[in-house]
Every structure is written in structure tokens, then in C-alpha cells.
Structure 1
Amino acid sequence: MKFEHDGNFQGMGGTLAVLVPSSSGLVIAADMRQTPKGTFCDGINKILLPTRPARTAVVVTGLITLQDMPDLSGHDLCEHLAKMPAPIDFGRSTLSYLNAENTPVADFNGQRFADAIFADISPYLAAGKLSGFAGSRIAQIIIASYDPASHTSSVIAFGIDLTIEGGFLLQPTPVTAATTVKGTNLGPASERVILPFGEVSYLEQHVLFGHGRMYLTGAYFQILLKKTVGDVGSDLAAAAALDLIEAASKTAEIIPAPSGIGGGSSAVLLGEETVWLK
């Protein structure tokens, strides 16, 4: 995905996120780099937690925010963007929706969510601020939750597209082959799975089957031996998820990623309680 345009708003984007369901919760890990105007802004947490519903998290990949970019570069640009809220911030919009609706992923209303996102961006669409993004997928919103009663992890993902004609589309995207309109639900008996989002092609080409494979440690290879979600402990899930993020970050120092991967890593466990692991 290209992250700069000659139109009005430009994007602050990036992100590699990895979700791993385990026997005692859902692990989410992400890198901490965003890339406006080709500048690396590091140390930015991308795993967002709403106040409610409980045990729920949000990650946005692609263009996380859209705004006018100042004539700054380097540290000055990163500092300015950190202080100035973007007019369009898909993470902020999603958290606002979740806090207001208090709806778990299993009962998520995609149409109401689409209406809420459209309400936030429609003034800028009407003003032509997003004309430079016509005909492209600008972002993907991943919402995940965990139900401790059934030991089930739920994931739903939405792609945000702008049509050539300037129209807006928000539509569910498949997470696994078992994805339904209600998203993807993974219980203890489900097949063990690792779910990457964002720079997935880069991860597959340059890490799993390329130069970066040398940076992977035992955690990733150990989890591949597990057959079901119930066989995967949360410690192993976290170690494997962070293993992939950190291997991709090291690889990106040698083979640049399209939108930048790096800047540190963070991880959270949605379990009986929500716990920051890193």
C-alpha cells in the first residue's frame, strides 16, 4: 500500500499485528512504528483498548489516521503529529463506537458500525479531502475479544475502501477459512492458528520464507507443533507473536518494508482480565 498522495489529506500508517488464540486468552502483539511522509515515528502503541466491552481490543492497519501534513520532517514531524489529533482517526472512531454500544464481537452489528465510521469521515469525503485515495483500501480495522466462560476468542475485521467514484465502503474481510458474517470464533478445540494483519505479504515473503527466518527463535517453531488452540498456553502464544513481530522488525532493517515495521513491540493478553504483557 502506498502511504503518500498528492491530494489533500495524507496518511500516518504502517503496522504489523499478530493475533494468537490460546487456552487461556487471546494474545495480540504489534510493532510500534508509524510512517508519515516517509518518516519513522517509533514507540507508538497500536493496540487500543476500549473502556467497554471488557476483554476487547482494536488494531488498525494501513492508514490509521488521515490529516493535512505540516511542512516538517524527522523528529519535529513526529512530535507535531503526537500533539495534534487527526481529523480522521479510525482507532479513535472505533473505540468511541465500542464504548457507546458495549457490544461483544460475537454480537457485533456491522451496519451500525459502518454508519458510525461513515458519519466521521463523510464531511471530509464531501470536501474532496480524500480524493487522493480513490480506488484503494485505506485501512483495515480488527476488533478482537475473549469470552472466559467459553474460552473462545472472537475476531472480526473490516476493510475500509474508497471507490474510484469517491464512494465509501466498509465491509467484513475473511480472517480464516472459517470466517462467517459474525467474524471468526476460535475455541479450545479449534485448529491452532496464527493470525497476522497489515504487512502480511512482507511477513510471509521476507520472514517466514526469506532472510528473516534466521531471526525466528524457538517459540515460533514450537507453536507450529501444537494442533489445537487448547494445546497453546498463553506464554507460548505471546512468545510466538512477539517472535514474529521482532523478526520482521530486524528484517526490515535489511529489507525495507513497504510501510515501515519496527519501533519496538507491544503485546496484550485478553484473558480472565486484560493484561499488558509488554
Structure 2
Amino acid sequence: MKIKNIAKSLSGVGGTLAVFVPSNAGLVIAADRRQTPKGIFCDGLEKILRPDQPARTAVVVTGLITLRDMPDLTGSALCDHLANTPAPIDFGRTTLAFLTAENTPVAQFDGQKFTDAVFGDVGPYLAAGKLSGLAGSRIAQILIASYDPVARTSSILAYGVDLTADRRFLVQPLPVTASTTLQGPSFNLDSERILLPFGEVPYLRQHVLSGHGQMYLTGAYSEFLSKTRVRDVEPSLAAAAALEVIEATAKTTEIIPAPSGIGGGSSALLLGEETVTLK
């Protein structure tokens, strides 16, 4: 693979708030629809991605979703360019291709093989020095979710994509919750009800769940907190609570700017007996 413009580092396009909520009929996933290149808001991006196979599986990438040479454009022209020009590194595209090719349940996911697939796409650009500007950072977080309708179990895998200060490229599994080592990455009907945010989580916790944005969390989220177990959470409530958290965060960013843009609308999906678009 020939890499052009070796001296120029690739820039990231990303920024996401995604929320996962296990329910008694499947896993609800919601996400905002804004990306923020060069400080410009580009809205309407679908961030909940679905592979051709396996069934009842979805992918969300937070952080820098893609890496590319950033054109000298601004405003809507930049947004149009990004929407219509494939990026050389696209973590969502890589993950979907891997899942479709493997076609195995998340329970049988081969993390090492996945790491090799991601490195296969990134390696040439890393060797060419095009990721040097990202050294010492977590580039992205890749979330892979699935639902088993027989066991009525939701599963979430999280992988951190890191470039260390000494420029070692790492793809490593991350705990989904503080109790991952005890609970595992799966949630059944008897699991405690839980709402799992990914992406701009520090901002969400500080400014929404414990700050200004609390004023916007007066409906579905409050009702969700009154539930005890996953079996008590209907998909409609899970979706309403997840979308309310995203909307509250978007409203809060209008008062207290977030590190990256959050907003631009939202979308929601249910991985259940069938995969259903909720919004």
C-alpha cells in the first residue's frame, strides 16, 4: 500500500456519546449524530453500525471514529466532503468487515484476531509516521454489542485503541463496568438495571448527572432509576431513558461546552428477537 504525504499527520474525526441499556426484551443502543472536525459541527451521522452478519449485533465507535488528511475546507463544504469521501482509517468499517467475515457470536469473539485486523489497516500509516500527532493518547474506543434471544442475554465488548508515547499501537479489551470481573460483559434478566454511557463520560457525569443537566432528566431517566433488575425494564423505557440522557447532554453543551460536539439529533436501535430501529 502506497501512503502519500508522509510528513503530514492524519487528523481525527469523532466525538460521540453513546448509551447502552439492557432491557427485558433486548439491548437498546442510542447515540448522538454529531461529529466535530476542526471544531465544526457536522450533524446527521449514523453512529450505530450494523454488520451484515452475525444477526442481532451492532457497533459504535467513540473518540476518533476515522483518521484522514483533513482538507482545507470549512463549514458545510467540509461536512459534505467528509460525508462523501471514505477515510483511509475507519474503525467502524474495519470492525464491520471483521464481524461479517467471522460471523461468530460475540461470546466466541477472537480478540487477538480482531487486533490483527485493526493493525492490518492502521499499520501502513503508522509505519509512515502519519499517526505521530496522536502519540500518547487513546485514539478510539470500539464497542461491539449483541443479544442472545434464547438466553435473553445482552453482551457488550469494549476495546481501547491506543498509541503510546513511544508509538506502540495497542488494541486492548476494557472493562465494561466496575464489576466486569465478577459480572462479565453480559447482562441477563436478573442483572441489576444499568445504563452504560460511552464517549464523553466524564463530561456526562460532571455536568449532566451531577450538574446543570440534571434539570433536563425529569422523565424517563427518573423512572428508569426506580427499576431494580433488567427484567423490570421494558425496551420502550430503556430507549426513552437513553435518548433523554443524550438530549440532556446536548442541551447542557449549549451552556457548558463539551470537549467535543454532542448533539445533532439522536438515533436508537433495539437488538432483540429482531433488530429494530427505534429512532
Q: Distance in 2 between matches of 1:212 and 1:165?
A: 39
**What are the Cα deviations for residues 191-227 of structure 1, in whole angstroms up to 9, with x where unaligned?**
1110000000111111111111111131001111111
**Aligned AA for 2:246?**
I
Q: Does 1:132 align with 2:133?
A: yes
**Aligned AA for 2:239?**
A
Q: Given that residues 25 and 234 in structure 1 are in contact (C-alpha distance below 8 angstroms), is that contact kept between their aligned partners in structure 2?
A: yes
Q: Distance in 2 between matches of 1:111 and 1:181?
A: 23
Partner SS, residue 73 of structure 2: coil
**Aligned AA for 1:147?**
D
Partner SS, residue 254 of structure 1: coil
Q: Distance in 2 between matches of 1:210 and 1:45?
A: 28
**What are the Cα deviations for residues 22-72 of structure 1, in whole angstroms up to 9, with x where unaligned?**
000000000000000111000101000001010000000000000000000
Q: Does 1:21 align with 2:22?
A: yes
Q: Given that residues 31 and 46 in structure 1 are in contact (C-alpha distance below 8 angstroms), is that contact kept between their aligned partners in structure 2?
A: yes
Q: Does 1:265 align with 2:266?
A: yes
**Aligned AA for 2:18?**
A
Q: State the match for 1:160 in structure 2.
A: 161
Q: State the match for 1:238 in structure 2.
A: 239
Q: State the match for 1:205 in structure 2.
A: 206
Q: Given that residues 61 and 141 in structure 1 are in contact (C-alpha distance below 8 angstroms), is that contact kept between their aligned partners in structure 2?
A: yes
Deviation at 1:164, TM superposition (A): 1.4
Q: State the match for 1:40 in structure 2.
A: 41
Q: State the match for 1:79 in structure 2.
A: 80
Q: State the match for 1:3 in structure 2.
A: none
Deviation at 1:184, TM superposition (A): 0.4
**Aligned AA for 1:162?**
L
Partner SS, residue 151 of structure 2: coil
Q: State the match for 1:109 in structure 2.
A: 110
TM-score normalised by the chain length of structure 1: 0.96
Q: Which runs of 5+ in 1 are unaligned?
A: 1-5
Partner SS, residue 18 of structure 1: strand
**Aligned AA for 1:223?**
F
Partner SS, residue 222 of structure 1: helix
Number of residue pairs matched by the alignment: 273
Q: State the match for 1:215 in structure 2.
A: 216
Identity across the alignment (%):
70
**What are the Cα deviations for residues 235-258 of structure 1, in whole angstroms up to 9, with x where unaligned?**
100000000001101111111110
Deviation at 1:7, TM superposition (A): 5.5
Q: Distance in 1 between matches of 2:220 and 2:129?
A: 47
Deviation at 1:166, TM superposition (A): 1.4
**Aligned AA for 2:25?**
S
TM-score normalised by the chain length of structure 2: 0.96
Q: Distance in 1 between matches of 2:271 and 2:181?
A: 22
Partner SS, residue 246 of structure 1: helix
TM superposition outliers: structure 1 runs of 4+ over 3 Å: 180-183
Alignment of 1:161-200 (within 5 A): 161-180=162-181, 184-200=185-201
Q: Does 1:99 align with 2:87?
A: no
Q: Given that residues 50 and 99 in structure 1 are in contact (C-alpha distance below 8 angstroms), is that contact kept between their aligned partners in structure 2?
A: yes
**Aligned AA for 1:66?**
L
Q: Distance in 2 between matches of 1:76 and 1:257?
A: 24
**Aligned AA for 1:209?**
S
